[in-house]
Amino acid sequence: MAKRKTKYVCQECGYESAKWMGKCPGCNNWNTLVEEIEASNMKNRHGLGIDKRSISKPEKITAIESQKEPRMTTSMKEFNRVLGGGIVPGSLMLIGGDPGIGKSTLLLQISSQLAEKQLPVLYISGEESTRQTKLRADRLDIKTDMLYVLSETNLFDIANQIEEIKPSLVIIDSIQTIFREEVTSAPGSVSQVRECTGELMRIAKTNGIPIFIVGHVTKEGAIAGPRMLEHMVDAVLYFEGERHHSYRILRGVKNRFGSTNEMGIFEMKESGLREVLNPSEIFLEERSQGAAGSTVVASMEGTRPVLVEIQALISPSSFGNPRRMATGIDHGRVPLLMAVLEKRVGLMLQNQDAYIKVAGGVKLDEPAIDLAIAISIASSFRDQPTKPDDIFVGEVGLTGEIRRVSRIEQRVQEAAKLGFKRVICPKKNLDGWTIPKSIEVIGVDTVQEALQVGVSR
């Protein structure tokens, strides 16, 4: 009898070791290595749709015919835009998010919309029974005979049902509950997630069926399982939002069939998710007029410009080490910009506490928001409000210069559409495009110039 080979696999990053270690060398997490039996010979079972093999030969790239990928569109324009225009047949998409954020609700609504177009959809739930799924469907008022619900966790049985029904779309909720019998480790382990995702990818590509798989997230917010999971799929979507806010953000961080970092806004209602077609109005509807420390920035989320309010509160520190807190932006950006203001502008901020927040629960990470953050800090420190119809866009360098940003034309057009009167932006961005007549665009070279224009003493 052959001796069983065992290995220790990190459940966070997928690192493999021949012996157990308390700390994973790959991700530096403690107590994440779990013993698994190494399968010596894993044969593909009949019915998984992967036994049919064809010999492919290399082709000249000039001889390959270009064609546009056909897409299935849903009734949600926001969802279609995040995916690049719709669902591509044969694609494998991964969606992650915090528990209870609304992933199952979103996918069930998408399934219903496609089923109403007489496209068969198979919704597979490994965490809920069919009656629990039916309760959610009743709340969402879903009444269609083309939506099939299956409560199953065995990949072999799931593949057989896909082959029998031949659906136009498959939903797997969630990948951590699906197991393959040939893999000896428990469902949700690194080996099971990797093998099951690989089989689902082959089913999708072989049969041309788009498959959505739901992934759990870790406490840090990343999708649980091996990092390779995100490399295997065609698109990675994150469903974000605060529990105390009704708005949800669907963000695409990877998409082989569209632009990355696209963002779709939804509002959670009692009857399900409702798309928000103009998020800028939502983020600015509760803005206080004439308040010091408040500025508006035009940030690009994928191909869409979004106007968001940035708030700053600067107050004298009661302790030896001033506090620097930020919500919605990178924490390290705040002390950097405060150092620039102190060195290049002369604002004495070294003994001031700083609290920065992006209103509405949005997370911004592009460099073009630097100028708005700096103006907010200076406005709060001087207790002088900015004009309520001003927009600030620009990247701030360590020498105090304002550097050019991308897609300035779309940002200005969005500001003009919402009634703003002035845009303060880098002077280098003023050439090569036509400025709308309804808005004034002011170019600045340094933070000092921007403060003179935007914040009066």
Residue 112: how many other CB atoms lie within 10 Å: 22
The angle subtended at Cα 188 by Cα 163 and Cα 222, nearest 5°, is 110
Q: Is 369 annotated as a binding residue?
A: no
Say if residue 60 carries a ligand binding annotation. no
* C-alpha span between 344 and 148 (Å, rounded): 64
Give the number of C-alpha atoms closer than 13 A to the C-alpha of residue 160, restricted to the C-beta side. 8
99 in a labelled binding site: yes
Question: Does 408 show up as a binding residue in the annotation?
Answer: no
Residue 162, number of CB atoms within 10 A of its CB: 23
DSSP letter, residue 288 = P
**Please, which residues bridge with residue 434 across strands?**
none
Q: Which of 172, 259, 163, 264 is nearest to 212 (CA)?
A: 172
Is 90 annotated as a binding-site member?
no
User: Taking the CA of residue 167 as centre, how many other CA atoms within 13 Å lie in the half-sphere pointing to its CB?
Assistant: 28
310 annotated as ligand-binding: no
* Residue 104, marked binder: yes
Both tokens assigned to 416: 């003009």
- Of the candidates 195, 287, 185, the residue with the CA atom closest to the CA atom of residue 232: 195
Place of tokens 């990797």: 194
DSSP 188-247: TSHHHHHHHHHHHHHHHHHHT--EEEEE-B-TTSSBSS-THHHHHSSEEEEEE--TTSSE
258 annotated ligand binder: no
Within 13 A of 453's CA, how many CA atoms are on the CB side? 22
63 burial (CB, 10 Å; 0-12 / 13-18 / 19+) is exposed
Q: Are 273 and 265 in contact (CB under 8 A)?
A: no
Annotated binding site: 97-104
Instruction: Report the binding-site residues for ATP.
Output: 97-104
